[in-house]
Amino acid sequence: MSVNRMFRTCPTSGLVFHEPAEKLMRWNAVAAVVSLLIGGLLAIGVVLTRWQAVHLLPPDRFYQYLTAHGLNMLVFWIIFFEIAVLYFAGSTLLKARLATPKMAWAAFWLMVLGALVNNYSVLRGDSSVMFTSYAPMGAHPTFYLGLILFAVGALIACFVFLGTLVVAKAERTYHGSIPLVTFGAVTAAIIAIFTIAAGAIILIPTFLWSVGLVPTIDSLMYRTVWWAFGHSSQQINVSAHVAVWYAVAAIVFGAKPMSEKVSRTAFLLYILFLQLASAHHLLADPGLTSHWKIFNTSYAMYLAVLASMVHGLTVPGSIEVAQRQKGFNHGLFEWLRKAPWSNPAFSSMFMSLIGFGFLGGISGVMMGTEQLNLIIHNTLYVPGHFHATVVVGTTLAFMGLTYFLIPVLFRREITFPKMAQWQPYVFGLAMMGVSLFLMGAGTLGVPRRHWDIGFAGNAFAHEFPGAAWLMMALAGITGIIAIVGGGMYLLITVWSVFLGKKIQTPGFQHVRAKDGIAPAPKPVAAAIAAHHPGIGAGGMVAPGTFALAMVFLTAFVLYYFINWKYLSTVWPLK
């Protein structure tokens, strides 16, 4: 069996694509976008039902739509896209051939099959058990089977990625260490492998239980192990979208990491501690001690939060340094004012960074505090938080990367370029609104996954304050705007990829790597020095970023202690 060693070089970006890897990236990206389309259509039903003035769906449909929305968005859209990112970071950035393309195709088709089988089970109507599928509430066996098939496929894809690293090293396609973005992808792949292993530990027995081969599944055991899968799966996203931030900063600005040491150590802290935060979901559960809760919920003394705060500084910091070196060196914020705000790759990435930090990060740490969790557990605060992390953070970052990948990977021009300029703002700002309003409603006690907070016809109906109803209406309105923004993204990407103008490259061909298709990247003279004489202020190369970081820290500290104050007013409990 001969190994395909054919590559092409992208004329605009200089990136090198291995022929089979390129095809796999495309197909994984397409499968991701299809999942996003399904999840987005379902979101319409969810949003319009929880907006109580509309209250569109009956309860069975609502819970069914919500289950499928969660699975298609949180699992299928994101993991398919992440596999494409892994292949990009492994094969393209290392200029290496993808290890075992056949296995990668097997992985892809297993994932597609798993996603179809899982969606089928929810479509049947007897598996509206939510993304979490908490035993002893049971779903149809195909629900678990679909997830297991998908997970096995994703696991194979992770090992194809790791194999590609081995190939690249053996075939000496790069010198020294792997690029930082690839290192971020390694972090994501490692967390993914733990995630999938934890998923197997719990979903395989649950599948056997659903077909009658295992007598019972313990609810606490299920929740504990399931969250090692459910929460860690979202930590894959964090690692992946941070890697995408670094990639976009490098692609758009030619930014170099402020320090390889700091950024890579921050990723190492992710590898070691990020996954412990699965305990966030078990803080209000009986049977686990405060020792376990405090240690795990704080990622061992918040070392993974430290890592996120470091990335949150170094990504914009590296952009600031690059901009200042280009001459935007006046004052604190000229570099930011003169940033390419009409480039959707940049605007998506920057809003992803701000939204993830200010909304997702701060709220995540607040609700992951052992005692503070009492005042938000299972309220709409939780979906508010993760729409800031997974949607504003991950999804928006991935959307930004797509605008870069369509010309580079699919060799098509972006159709509707004006709409593409606006899309990140419509989607990002509306989704930030959704997050804020859901968090507001959650603070007022509104439960998540609830069909009717009006409790119509109930003898003990609870009356939520008017502010809660207002929050739900505002979340509904911003939710619809966000869906429109998502629709714009789908329209632009699908149209560009299938009907967009082909980018013609004279003399286009795939050639063997050893024939020297990849010109070695030219070192940028100015970027060599670790210190950057003549830029910045106050002895800092990135004073503007530092100022932003201080604003962030102030918001963080204030919000954190406001919630302790709030907690101190509720009933004493011990």
Partner 1 sequence: MNAERIEDDLPDEPVPVMQQLLDNPFLLLFLGIAMPTVLYIVWGVMEIVSLPIAK
Partner 2 sequence: MSAILPPQERVWWKQPLDRVELIWIVVALIWCLIMFFMMPYWHIYGQQNLSNEAYRSKPEDFVRKTEAMIAQYKVREDGGDLKVPVVRPPAGSDVYMVAQLWRWYPILELEAGKSYRIHLMSLDWLHGFSLQPENINIQVHPGYEHVLTVTPTNPGTYSIICNEYCGINHHTMVSRLYVVK
- Residues engaged in binding partner 1 (CB under 8 A): 162, 165, 177-178, 183, 186-187, 190-191, 193-194, 197-198, 201, 218, 220-221, 224-225, 228, 232, 264-265, 268, 271-273, 275-276, 278-279, 282, 287-289, 292, 295-296, 300, 528-529, 531
Beta bridge mates, 107: none
Cβ neighbours of residue 275 under 8 Å, at least 6 residues apart? 191, 194, 195, 228, 231, 232, 235
Q: Tell the smallest beta-carbon distance from residue 103 to partner 1 (Å).
A: 18
Element (H, E) at 383: helix 381-386
DSSP 454: T
Q: Which is nearer to partner 2, 3 or 524 (CB)?
A: 524
Q: Which is nearer to partner 2, 105 or 560 (CB)?
A: 560
Mapped onto helix, strand or coil, the DSSP state of residue 245 is helix
Torsion from C-alpha of 101, 172, 245, 369, nearest 10 degrees: 90
Torsion from C-alpha of 351, 355, 358, 359, nearest 10 degrees: 160
What is d(CA 122, CA 67) in angstroms, rounded to the nearest whole number?
7
Q: Which is nearer to partner 1, 232 or 402 (CB)?
A: 232
Radius of gyration of the CA atoms of the chain, in A? 24
What is d(CA 272, CA 269) in angstroms, rounded to the nearest whole number?
5
Beta bridge mates, 16: 9
Contact 234, 386 (CB under 8 A): yes
Q: Tell the smallest beta-carbon distance from residue 190 to partner 2 (Å).
A: 19
Residue 190 binds which entry of partner 2, partner 1, none, CB below 5-8 Å type-dependent: partner 1
Q: Tell the smallest beta-carbon distance from residue 134 to partner 2 (Å).
A: 5
Torsion from C-alpha of 139, 141, 147, 151, nearest 10 degrees: 140
Q: Tell the smallest beta-carbon distance from residue 232 to partner 1 (Å).
A: 7
Residue 6 binds which entry of partner 2, partner 1, none, CB below 5-8 Å type-dependent: none
Cβ neighbours of residue 214 under 8 Å, at least 6 residues apart? 205, 208
Beta bridge mates, 17: 8
What is d(CA 368, CA 567) in angstroms, rounded to the nearest whole number?
14
Element (H, E) at 18: strand 16-18
Residue 470 binds which entry of partner 2, partner 1, none, CB below 5-8 Å type-dependent: none
Q: Which is nearer to partner 1, 296 or 496 (CB)?
A: 296
Residue 272 binds which entry of partner 2, partner 1, none, CB below 5-8 Å type-dependent: partner 1
Q: Tell the smallest beta-carbon distance from residue 369 to partner 2 (Å).
A: 6
Q: Which is nearer to partner 1, 225 or 392 (CB)?
A: 225
DSSP 260: H
Q: Which is nearer to partner 1, 165 or 248 (CB)?
A: 165
Residue 130 binds which entry of partner 2, partner 1, none, CB below 5-8 Å type-dependent: partner 2
Q: Tell the smallest beta-carbon distance from residue 82 to partner 2 (Å).
A: 17
Cβ neighbours of residue 121 under 8 Å, at least 6 residues apart? 127, 139, 140, 141, 142, 143, 145, 146
Residue 523 binds which entry of partner 1, partner 2, none, CB below 5-8 Å type-dependent: partner 2
Q: Which is nearer to partner 2, 174 or 416 (CB)?
A: 174
Residue 567 binds which entry of partner 1, partner 2, none, CB below 5-8 Å type-dependent: partner 2
Q: Tell the smallest beta-carbon distance from residue 428 to partner 2 (Å).
A: 22
Ramachandran angles phi, psi of 271, nearest 5°? -60, -40
Residue 271 binds which entry of partner 2, partner 1, none, CB below 5-8 Å type-dependent: partner 1
What is d(CA 49, CA 451) in angstroms, rounded to the nearest whole number?
7
Contact 343, 405 (CB under 8 A): no
Residue 461 binds which entry of partner 2, partner 1, none, CB below 5-8 Å type-dependent: partner 2
Q: Tell the smallest beta-carbon distance from residue 115 to partner 2 (Å).
A: 22
Residue 37 binds which entry of partner 2, partner 1, none, CB below 5-8 Å type-dependent: none
Q: Tell the smallest beta-carbon distance from residue 170 to partner 1 (Å).
A: 14
Q: Which is nearer to partner 1, 191 or 258 (CB)?
A: 191
Q: Which is nearer to partner 1, 83 or 488 (CB)?
A: 83
Q: Tell the smallest beta-carbon distance from residue 92 to partner 2 (Å).
A: 9
Q: Which is nearer to partner 1, 212 or 215 (CB)?
A: 215
- CA 314 to chain CA centroid, Å, is 19
